[in-house]
Structure 1
């Protein structure tokens, strides 16, 4: 199996320059960068906020990194320590050295990160692919997370034509002139294309070969193993899955889960409704 890596040194340096510039422009305050050793490679995390307390650990979606949470950092860090993670195998400052074959490997990687940080009561927040990783971590390593907040997580439907069409349309819209993007964002249902700085970083990441596993649909038995309080925020118009069917399934299988279907929002929920998502994260961790 392959690992995630840049196509060549030129692609790596192009991305690194864009990453450092975007980090300097978007991160809203002081931070400590840490490069943590794991079996699967070196993982970059950023710490900010109070020095003590149960940390909020932020996991990005596919193709993203810690910077996708830039608009949330200041709000969350006023309440709790925040640890934003560049997932190993994604384009970011982490460096993968060993393949991640499945959800169990992904869970093992995350557990090693939390172990190095000496975190035993994480408030895990995962978006899309990061949500799938958080769920797998809770299934395979149930002692380090105090709660889960899952923002339109993967793992509840196979990726079908609708989702791939949404991805392609969003990618094409990012190449349009900036004045046209608000209209295109509404047309394709993807507000993430309005994040101009992150879209520049995304274009720089095209030289990265991603090799992480496609999330399979979580089994009934796996969902029954969710034991900690888990908030699922689902976009009513998500292109990834039928949110009502996901809510019904969770209601049957995961008694510790609560589900909110967010109107007028899709899979790009963190940019569709940032104030709502931030408020729900903070409310969930206070329960």
Structure 2
């Protein structure tokens, strides 16, 4: 099986130079970068906030890294240790050395990462692909994480034409002249393209070959095994799935979960409604 990697040493050096510039531009306040070894490769994390308290671990969506959470770090780090992760296999400062074939492998990587950081009782926050990884971890390694916030997570519908069209439209809008992007972001329903620095970093990552599994749909049996307190935040206009149908399924199968369908928001929920998402994460950390 293939692993995710840059096409060349030049592509990697170009990307990492852009990555370092973007961290310097966007990261709020102090941080400490750590490289944690796992059997799937070295994982870069950025730590911020107080040394004690309930840790909040931030997992990005597909094609992203720790920097997708830059608007959230300051608010979370006021009271909680924050660990923002560059997922192995995604473009970032982590380096994959072994293939991740399925959700069990993804869960094993995350378990090794949390164990390497000596984290127990952490609150996992996962967006899209990161939400799928957090759920896989809870299924295969229950007890390490105390609770979850899942922001329009993958794993509840097959990736269909609507979702791929949304991705392509967002990618084209992201390379349009900057003055046109606000209008285009409304047309395609993707506020993430307004993150100018992250879009520049995405373009620098065109030399990266991603080789991670497509999330399958969770079975009913898997969902009934989820025991940790979980908050599902679903964009009402998500291109990934029918959010109302997903909410009904979670309500029926996952007694420990709460579900909120967020109006006027899509799959780019963290940038569509950042204040709401931050508020809900903080509430879940405290109450779960």
Q: TM-score, with normalisation over the residues of structure 1?
A: 1.00
Measure, in 1, the Cα distance between the counterparts of 2:258 and 2:225: 15
Measure, in 2, the Cα distance between the counterparts of 1:83 and 1:112: 15
Measure, in 1, the Cα distance between the counterparts of 2:179 and 2:68: 22
What are the superposed Cα offsets for residues 34-53 of structure 1, whole Å, 9 maximum, x if unpaired? 10010100000011101011
Secondary structure of the 1:286 match is helix
Give the corresponding residue for 1:143.
143
Q: Quick check: 2:106–2:137 contact (8 Å CA) kept in 1?
A: yes
Secondary structure of the 1:276 match is helix
Give the corresponding residue for 2:112.
112
Give the corresponding residue for 1:53.
53
**RMSD across aligned positions (CA):** 0.4
- 1:5 to 2:5 alignment: yes
What are the superposed Cα offsets for residues 59-85 of structure 1, whole Å, 9 maximum, x if unpaired? 000000000000000000002000000
Measure, in 1, the Cα distance between the counterparts of 2:151 and 2:77: 19
Secondary structure of the 2:136 match is helix
List gaps (5 residues or longer) in structure 1: none
Give the corresponding residue for 2:274.
274
Measure, in 2, the Cα distance between the counterparts of 1:203 and 1:130: 21
Secondary structure of the 2:45 match is strand
Q: TM-score, with normalisation over the residues of structure 2?
A: 0.99
CA shift at 1:172, angstroms?
Answer: 0.2
Give the corresponding residue for 1:123.
123
Counterparts of 1:1-287 in structure 2 under 5 Å?
A: 1-287=1-287
List gaps (5 residues or longer) in structure 2: none
Runs in 1 of length 4+ with deviation above 2 angstroms?
A: none
Secondary structure of the 2:222 match is helix
CA shift at 1:9, angstroms?
Answer: 1.2
CA shift at 1:54, angstroms?
Answer: 1.3
CA shift at 1:140, angstroms?
Answer: 0.2
Measure, in 2, the Cα distance between the counterparts of 1:23 and 1:175: 21
Measure, in 2, the Cα distance between the counterparts of 1:56 and 1:276: 17
Q: Quick check: 2:53–2:79 contact (8 Å CA) kept in 1?
A: no
CA shift at 1:214, angstroms?
Answer: 0.2
Secondary structure of the 2:193 match is helix
